[in-house]
Structure 1
Amino acid sequence: MKTTTINLDIPSLHEAYRSGDLTPATVISHLLERARKFADHNIWIHLATEQELAPYLERLQGTGPDQLPLYGVPFAVKDNIDVAGMPTTAACEAYRYQPAQHAAVVEALVNAGAIPLGKTNLDQFATGLVGTRSPEPWGPCGNSFDPDYISGGSSSGSAVATALGLVSFALGTDTAGSGRVPAGFNNLIGLKPTLGRLSVRGVVPACQSLDCVSLFARSADQAASVLSVASRSDDGDPWQRPLPVGRRPVSGHFRFGVPRPDQLDFDGEEGARRLFEKSIADLEAIGGISVRVDFQPFLDAARLLYEGPWVAERYLATSPLIQERPEALLDVTRSIISQGALASAAEAFAARYRLQQLKQSADQVWREVDIMVTPTTPTIYTRAQVREEPLARNSRLGTYTNFMNLLDYSAVAVPSGFLENGLPLGCTLFAPAFQDESLLALASRLHPRATDRVGALADPLVSAEPTATDGTIDVLVCGAHLTGLPLNHQLTERNAVLMETTETAPAYRMYLLAGGPPLRPGLVRDPGPGIALPVEIWRLPADRFGSFVAGIPAPLGIGKVELADGRWVPGFICEPIGLEGAEDITHLGGWRGFLASR
């Protein structure tokens, strides 16, 4: 394990800035010196100079962590994402250009106070999952634990820079797994946000319809913080999608899908199988219920990415260079991308039809489970093994990643632990689109069960759970909407999930209201003779809340109800006029008690 003299966790940095123990200038100076010590890892295509970084430091003067959420936070940028004033090469010297503007996502981070330390190495034109497809003068990027092993690609340098404590977080891209495979091989969180969540303006295209910017982070809560800053609407990006008003919640007792044993591939590495089985057990230990599912539609979709016509998008992105200077590309890169020139329009439409069929089949799983978990990769290879079989082993690494953007899912790679050889592996949690925050909240609970250290460092892992309630509203129910009762379907058909069973503060009374059927209770706050009553808290997508409330008949309504732990949540209450002719049933201990008494 490598040690750092400065803890680069974002909260730790901000605490040091506030106390005066550190300044952004001293942090940057330290990191530039530290980066030079890892020159043999081939992390950087362009490591910034102090002169290049001076303007970023100057703009922080007069501000601080309380004004800028990423004040003085160093980050790295994959060299297919533009940083103004720093060259963009996509690991191809002949492609080099000097952008005058930041990519939209870089601009959002810089405006929040972050400092780009430089541009990182990658598999040329983001075509590969190994991290070895970078030509001289850069060369293969070495794994942060052992440079004889692959770092994973294509966002190799961004992952290794984060794992070695050179930056607090890093940007990658992820079309087929490039933001998750390197995370798994370097003991990091790797977030592949929902396709279109982050702007791709200023990103060198690989497959424009499938490209997304990804994040490497020391912990899930820090990934969530960066995601929040980076999620800015960009009218200049035709691929960006607006965030939905409501998002599907994940309950505390979630159901997670696992591929059938015969559909799991570890390439003969039993240690990898054991780590994945431990990840399943860890998910069960934090409240999950495992469900074996048919994974074949996902596997079939994964094969479409390179065996189908989507490779034509890579050809479109690089065709001028391939046609005019084919020798500028590595042989392996050129051979893969050139296949895109052969696809016909008919093949493209046929593949699209096939994908739609597979997505319909794959999406059936969400009727049974809240999330899915897979290994991030079957195993990890040495650089020598990849040289022996460069195409087959690269392809195998995409087994659990290639389908993700084709099927429009969000995903986060989470460390699973270490093999006997000391190399890390990871698992991946995924869910429908725009479940990024829910996945990160779950990842924050899973991560500490696999390791207590960050990346390849001796830095202790601090994994706080980020909030995952954006786009949802909690509602307290106490009567016929309780689990198993006649009106519960009004919640479940709106994708609401049960979050907890609890009690009100000891300040409420319950009445059987006049009229019916159906029989209805009225909850009334009465601090004097009131008692604690059993209730349930359900979480609804925010865009379904209005239709739910609109169906509530008078004299009932939604107001704030106090819980036993002092929280106030929206919930069913009764207007005073509703108590005319009502029967006090408080002594029966709640609505289920009343039903039992009948």
Structure 2
Amino acid sequence: MPHPESIAQRLARFNTEAELAPANIWIDRKAVAAGADSGPLAGLLAAVKDNIDVAGFPTTAACPSFAYEPTRSATVVERLLAAGASVVGKTNLDQFACGLVGTRSPYGPVQNAFKPEYVSGGSSSGSAVAVALGLVDVSYGTDTAGSGRVPAGLNNIVGLKPSRGLMSTRGVVPASQHIDCVSIFARTVPQAIEVLMAVAGHDPECPYSRHLPLDPAAMPEQFRFGLPNAEQLEFFGDKQAQAAFDAAVVALEGLSGTASRIDYAPMLEAATALYEDVWVADRYAAIREFFDTRPDEIDPTVRTIIGAGQKYVAADVFTAMGRMGLLRQYADSLWKDIDVLVVPTAPTAHTIAAVQADPIVRNRELGYYTNFVNLLDLSAIAVPASIRPDGLPFGITLIGPSGSELRLADLAQRFHQQTGLTLGATGEPLPAAKPIPRVPGSTVKVAVVGAHLAGLPLNSQLLERGARLLSTVKTAPHYRFYALAGTVPPKPGMLRVAKDGAAIEAEVWEMPMTAYGSFVAGIPGPLGIGSIELEDGSRVQGFLCEASALEGAEDISEFGGWRAYLGRAKAAA
């Protein structure tokens, strides 16, 4: 939806506020890449991490001697502009996107939006803090090991890490190009998903892009969430973080979630492999020529990490791929028993001084819950959970299989809404929940009037197919309603009539189109699915019955709905 202020008004305010922002967020904000006049993102201001090309801005990857002037924007930027957003600056990062701390930049460390002595998280540090402070509406980061999630968790914003290949990486300076993702920062879950829906999609110019349909199924109202075994949870002595996570688990249970424990060891093995095995060779390959010819111009910590990739040979790669494939099989098996995996976004928060004193160990600690996600081909969304007693934000991350972004977003918004938190570091209240958009044509609306209503015996047939309740409505006053004889469980029948009709209470559910066929096939005669007219004149698919079913049935139209009839029957008993 277009922003109420004009772009000119917003830019004037942006320039004033940006001048007052903490130092080292921006690498370049002198130019503006203006978006289209209309589109789903019209009027939004965006920032872009400076390892992603924007025509008119230099790309430095936080290494001035590496800088170049792109003549074309990255695919994700082209699509962002086409959707109406305007890019107002390039943001600071850990050099070559190597780090989870936000301190490895010649432009200086990016300070936490809440407590400046603490790290902001990286490598997408500037992008996250610009959103947290309200300087821009949304921003792009990248995520290889957690760079789109850790900064979100440490700055009280949403960080969406899409499935690999869902968003193009053409025009992105890679960190580890086989598993890199462009990530999205926003202050609310719906805003992040709106950006995703506007820019995602296959790109034939990107070698890692893939045709990946989003699962349209909703997160069930009653969901199962996995947690690492208690002895595998790690907070590195941070009691406040541990207490915040325990409280988040209780809140999830309060949202009708059921917790179960999983073995986190395979995830830890994958996480360790990202920096301490052959996979680091992908980082070396990404900047090999520059690394070999100008190593002294690279941050010493970054040079140490990437340089470790030089020792591996091709045979090591194939051995590691086989082992990672087995770990991926384990991850895939989880979804039979849980709907979502829940972990802390970061196990603790470090000061800038502590990171500078021991940069590799402190960085490794921050990646305890993030490093494995891309290697195991999973999707994730980091969402704020609370503000700790010491004033630092704490967040959790919801993790699901590839393509599950919309399901994760359903639960992420439900969780965010009950936190009572304000937006980022702005102090602004969290707006009311918005429907998470679905891919057009991927779902179908179904009106139910009887045993499939929420909480009634056949409602499970909707829930197990990933359907979600949209609204409670009434039909147009063109129907007669009957309690059918001899049905188990008891069911009503609704019949359209030419006169003397009544309006009947109904629930409208949204179901994935892929599940709709099996749902309809399971409906026993004389019931069936037809077109139902609602009180607002719209039509959806819904339950009707054949006239022959009315023999021995009781006309219950006067009750106006199945629940009212059941209430009468219960009272009479």
Quickly name the TM-score band, shorter chain normalised: 0.7 to 0.9
How far does the alpha carbon of each residue in 1:491-528 deviate from its partner, in whole angstroms, 9 at most, with x for none?
Answer: 788x44575998975944347599x9999985424584
Q: Partner letter of residue 170 of structure 1?
A: S
How far does the alpha carbon of each residue in 1:315-374 deviate from its partner, in whole angstroms, 9 at most, with x for none?
Answer: 111110111111121111111112222223332222222222222222232122222211
Identify which of 267, 275, 285 aligns with 2:254: 285
Q: Partner letter of residue 14 of structure 1?
A: H
Q: Does 1:383 align with 2:352?
A: yes
SS of alignment partner, residue 3 of structure 2: helix
Q: Is the contact between residue 479 and residue 521 of structure 1 (CA under 8 Å) also seen in structure 2?
A: yes
Partner of 1:373: 342
Change (3 A) 1:530 1:110: closer
Q: Does 1:133 align with 2:104?
A: yes
How far does the alpha carbon of each residue in 1:258-317 deviate from its partner, in whole angstroms, 9 at most, with x for none?
Answer: 222212111111111111112122222233232333323222222222222211111111
Q: Is the contact between residue 257 and residue 292 of structure 1 (CA under 8 Å) also seen in structure 2?
A: yes
Q: Is the contact between residue 201 and residue 211 of structure 2 (CA under 8 Å) also seen in structure 1?
A: no
Identify which of 301, 312, 327 aligns with 2:270: 301
Q: Partner letter of residue 363 of structure 2?
A: N
Q: Is the contact between residue 219 and residue 411 of structure 2 (CA under 8 Å) also seen in structure 1?
A: no
The unaligned stretches of length 5 or more in structure 2 are none
Q: Does 1:29 align with 2:12?
A: yes
| CA–CA distance in structure 1, aligned partners of residues 113 and 253 of structure 2 | 30
How far does the alpha carbon of each residue in 1:9-54 deviate from its partner, in whole angstroms, 9 at most, with x for none?
Answer: xx6x722x3xxxxx3123212222322223x531111122xxx33x
1:96 is displaced (CA, Å) by 0.7
SS of alignment partner, residue 410 of structure 2: helix
| CA–CA distance in structure 1, aligned partners of residues 91 and 315 of structure 2 | 38
SS of alignment partner, residue 46 of structure 2: strand
Identify which of 408, 425, 439 aligns with 1:439: 408
What is the aligned residue count?
Answer: 560
| CA–CA distance in structure 2, aligned partners of residues 473 and 517 of structure 1 | 27
SS of alignment partner, residue 11 of structure 2: helix
Partner of 2:311: 342
Partner of 1:5: none
Partner of 2:234: 265
Partner of 1:105: 76
Q: Does 1:171 align with 2:140?
A: yes
1:541 is displaced (CA, Å) by 2.6
Of 200-209 and 364-373, deviating more is: 364-373
Change (3 A) 1:482 1:128: same
Q: Is the contact between residue 247 and residue 434 of structure 1 (CA under 8 Å) also seen in structure 2?
A: no
Partner of 1:197: 166
Q: Does 1:238 align with 2:207?
A: yes
SS of alignment partner, residue 428 of structure 1: strand
TM-score, normalising length: structure 1: 0.83
1:536 is displaced (CA, Å) by 7.9
| CA–CA distance in structure 1, aligned partners of residues 338 and 474 of structure 2 | 30
Q: Is the contact between residue 468 and residue 511 of structure 2 (CA under 8 Å) also seen in structure 1?
A: no
Q: Does 1:70 align with 2:70?
A: no
Change (3 A) 1:419 1:87: same
Q: Is the contact between residue 417 and residue 433 of structure 2 (CA under 8 Å) also seen in structure 1?
A: no
| CA–CA distance in structure 1, aligned partners of residues 142 and 87 of structure 2 | 16
Change (3 A) 1:173 1:268: same
TM-score, normalising length: structure 2: 0.87
Q: Is the contact between residue 450 and residue 491 of structure 2 (CA under 8 Å) also seen in structure 1?
A: yes
Q: Is the contact between residue 504 and residue 561 of structure 1 (CA under 8 Å) also seen in structure 2?
A: no
Change (3 A) 1:168 1:207: same
1:454 is displaced (CA, Å) by 1.8
Q: Is the contact between residue 224 and residue 466 of structure 1 (CA under 8 Å) also seen in structure 2?
A: no
| CA–CA distance in structure 1, aligned partners of residues 379 and 490 of structure 2 | 42
Please give the residue correspondences for 1:512-551 in structure 2 after superposition, counting only pairs within 5 Å: 523-525=494-496, 528=500, 540-546=511-517, 548-549=519-520
SS of alignment partner, residue 434 of structure 2: coil
Identify which of 243, 249, 258 aligns with 1:274: 243
Identify which of 120, 124, 133 aligns with 2:95: 124
The unaligned stretches of length 5 or more in structure 1 are 1-10, 18-22
| CA–CA distance in structure 2, aligned partners of residues 37 and 483 of structure 1 | 51
1:101 is displaced (CA, Å) by 0.6
Of 459-468 and 326-335, deviating more is: 459-468
Partner of 1:573: 544
Q: Partner letter of residue 337 of structure 1?
A: I
1:464 is displaced (CA, Å) by 2.4
Q: Partner letter of residue 130 of structure 1?
A: V
1:434 is displaced (CA, Å) by 1.9
| CA–CA distance in structure 2, aligned partners of residues 146 and 357 of structure 1 | 41
Partner of 2:444: 473
Q: Is the contact between residue 246 and residue 472 of structure 1 (CA under 8 Å) also seen in structure 2?
A: no
Identify which of 421, 424, 438 aligns with 2:393: 424
Q: Is the contact between residue 473 and residue 508 of structure 2 (CA under 8 Å) also seen in structure 1?
A: no
Change (3 A) 1:115 1:530: closer
Q: Is the contact between residue 50 and residue 60 of structure 2 (CA under 8 Å) also seen in structure 1?
A: yes
Q: Is the contact between residue 214 and residue 404 of structure 2 (CA under 8 Å) also seen in structure 1?
A: no
How far does the alpha carbon of each residue in 1:384-406 deviate from its partner, in whole angstroms, 9 at most, with x for none?
Answer: 11122211110111111111112
Q: Is the contact between residue 92 and residue 125 of structure 2 (CA under 8 Å) also seen in structure 1?
A: yes
Q: Is the contact between residue 158 and residue 185 of structure 2 (CA under 8 Å) also seen in structure 1?
A: yes
Q: Does 1:87 align with 2:70?
A: no
SS of alignment partner, residue 304 of structure 2: helix
Q: Partner letter of residue 418 of structure 1?
A: I
RMSD over equivalenced CA pairs, Å: 3.6
1:427 is displaced (CA, Å) by 0.8
Of 293-302 and 265-274, deviating more is: 293-302
Q: Is the contact between residue 94 and residue 105 of structure 2 (CA under 8 Å) also seen in structure 1?
A: yes
Q: Partner letter of residue 117 of structure 2?
A: D
| CA–CA distance in structure 2, aligned partners of residues 72 and 207 of structure 1 | 33
Q: Is the contact between residue 283 and residue 306 of structure 2 (CA under 8 Å) also seen in structure 1?
A: yes
Q: Is the contact between residue 122 and residue 157 of structure 1 (CA under 8 Å) also seen in structure 2?
A: yes
1:130 is displaced (CA, Å) by 0.5
